[in-house]
Amino acid sequence: MLGCNYRYINIFGVISVENNKKAIVLFSGGLDSSTALIIALSQGYQCIALTINYKQRHSYEIVSSKIFLKNYKAVEHIVYDLDLSMIEGSALTDNKIDVPKIESSGIPVTYVPARNTLFLSIASSFAESKKIKDIFIGVNAIDYSGYPDCRPEFIKSFEEMINKATKYGLEHGDITIHTPLIELTKAEIIKKGTNLGIDYSKTVSCYSLDSDGSACGVCDSCRFRKQGFQDAGIEDPTIYK
């Protein structure tokens, strides 16, 4: 279907996809990136969802991303393997370190060195090879863990860099990193996604999911999610243990 005008129906109605308006969307199957993906679709982009399997502790992200996309058949899905198991010092890649169950001060131990730089670099390489100039990432710098690579300063800097790094960037200078959630609270994200018809029961945020599929409810990611639903006044479909 690439390169042609078409319309498709998904659970939230009919969306027009414009000719040649394509985007790569970094997509983990979590609350934020699912919302970013559906926002990109709602803006008329024909989307390739790019899920990075980086041997993360919470590797059910990969399964979760596939389940979510069953409702969005028009989205092409690429799962890319990037082995970060050698990255020491992060609770998400280093099994010797536990995911904290209480709020920590400063940048938490779940920080993965240069993760979003890596993810955006892979997305940029894919994008250029497919002649796509628009990349979406669901980073958020309001209700977040303080990761440096979720902040607007980083995104702006990456965008400047990638326009110098690539042939397309050098020739056109308009490679764009879209961050539709960056200045929204978690509650605003949930409200926006709910209005776009997202079924958040099919998204998973927890870093320490139980084997029965229930979320821990106490990791950073769970805490922001729980609070977000509460603040939005929307029922949280997550099953916590």
- Contacting residues toward a second copy, per CB under 8 A: 78, 80-84, 86-90, 107, 111-118, 121-122, 124-130, 148-149, 151, 153-154, 157-158, 160-162, 164-170
By beta-carbon proximity to a second copy, the closer residue of 138 and 169 is 169
Q: How far is the CB of 159 from a second copy (least distance, A)?
A: 9
By beta-carbon proximity to a second copy, the closer residue of 172 and 241 is 172
Q: How far is the CB of 56 from a second copy (least distance, A)?
A: 14
Q: How far is the CB of 9 from a second copy (least distance, A)?
A: 30
Q: How far is the CB of 1 from a second copy (least distance, A)?
A: 18
By beta-carbon proximity to a second copy, the closer residue of 10 and 117 is 117
- Beta carbons of 50 and 78 less than 8 angstroms apart: yes
> What is the C-alpha to C-alpha distance for residues 206 and 220, in angstroms, rounded to an integer?
8
Q: Which of 45, 24, 44, 21 minimizes the C-alpha distance to 33?
A: 24
> What is the C-alpha to C-alpha distance for residues 49 and 28, in angstroms, rounded to an integer?
9
By beta-carbon proximity to a second copy, the closer residue of 169 and 228 is 169
Three state DSSP letters for 20-47: CCEEEEECCCCHHHHHHHHHHHHCCCEE
- Beta carbons of 209 and 64 less than 8 angstroms apart: no
